[in-house]
Structure 1
Amino acid sequence: MINRLKRSDDKVVAGVCAGLAEYYGWDKSKVRLIYALLSIFSAGFPGLLVYIILWFVMPNF
Structure 2
Amino acid sequence: MRQFECGTLVPGCDWHTRADQDAEIVRRAVDHMRTAHGETVIRETMVEHIKERIRDERAEPAQPAG
Whether these two folds match at TM > 0.5 is no
Q: TM-score range by the shorter chain?
A: 0.3 to 0.5
**Structure with bigger gyration radius:** 2
State the TM-score, normalizing by the size of structure 2: 0.33
Normalized per residue, the structure richer in helix is 1
State the TM-score, normalizing by the size of structure 1: 0.34
